[in-house]
Each structure stands twice: as C-alpha cells, then as structure tokens.
Amino acid sequence: MVQLDSVVPDFSVAATGGDFKLSEQRGKAIVLYFYPKDNTPGCTTEGSEFAAATPQFDAAHAVIAGVSRDSLKSHEGFKARMNFPFELISDPDEKLCEMFGVIKMKNMYGKQVHGVERSTFVIDRAGVLRKQWRGVKVPNHVAQVLTFVQSLA
C-alpha cells in the first residue's frame, strides 16, 4: 500500500480517455478520488463538485481523476451524462483500490459488503503522495482538496 510522503509507483489503468498512466502526469499535481459507484447520489454530487471546481484545479496545474470498480462502459455513460471534464478510471480488478488501501468491509442495509471507502489522494508534481482523506463526507470536501492543491504551487 502506498504510504504518505513516498513516491507512488507508476501505474497504467483503463480510463474514459484511454489509458491513464501516472508517469505521463509528472509535472502536475494529481487528485485521485475513489468513489463507490457510478450514478449514485453521493458519487454524482462529489463528481459534480469536482467538475465545477475543475477550472481552479487547472489553474493550480492539477489533474483530477475519479476511480471506481465500475466498467469502462458504465464510466463512459456516467461521464457523458454528467459532462465531467476529467477522466474516470475503471478498476474492476481492484489493483488501484488495493494500492491505495480503499477496499473495506462496509454496512449496506444491515449487511456487510466488500466495497470502496470514499477517499481522495493528492500526488505532487514529483509523484509523491502528499495528502489523503479517508472515509470522506462529500459536503465541503472538494474545497478542502482544492485548498491543499493550491498550497502545493
């Protein structure tokens, strides 16, 4: 699992705009936000808030990418429906989820299920993991991430 203040190993994963390769993002801050499922209320709100703040993230030289276990086809539909200006990464085999340690046992309708804990990670321009938020609550989260990313400039 990736540790805070350490270099994140390079990875290449399927995303809505083609493969997303970490090493190709060097020189920019990277915001990876992990969410449970496309087209659900909390995930839609979180994605919409990141979309609305994209111009500010762009100004801070940061790239945003959403990550879930949904298929690329599901991601493409979700991205198009919501008009997200950033890529969505498909991680059905949970490799990226495992790398960042976001798979947890969660309670859903009184039942224990294996799922993604809503989490966000900021990787700096040199590829070092600088900040993580786990167990994210959507309200005001994007503003916190933006403030941190702007502090890296």
Catalytic residues: 43
Q: Report the candidate in 7, 14, 3, 19 with the shortest Cα–Cα distance to residue 125.
A: 7
CA–CA distance, 26 with 28 (Å, rounded to integer): 5
At 49, is the secondary structure helix, strand, or coil? helix
Helices (H), 1-140: 41-52, 54-59, 72-82, 95-99
Asked if 15 and 65 touch (Cβ cutoff 8 Å), the reply is: yes
Q: Report the candidate in 107, 105, 103 with the shortest Cα–Cα distance to residue 94.
A: 103
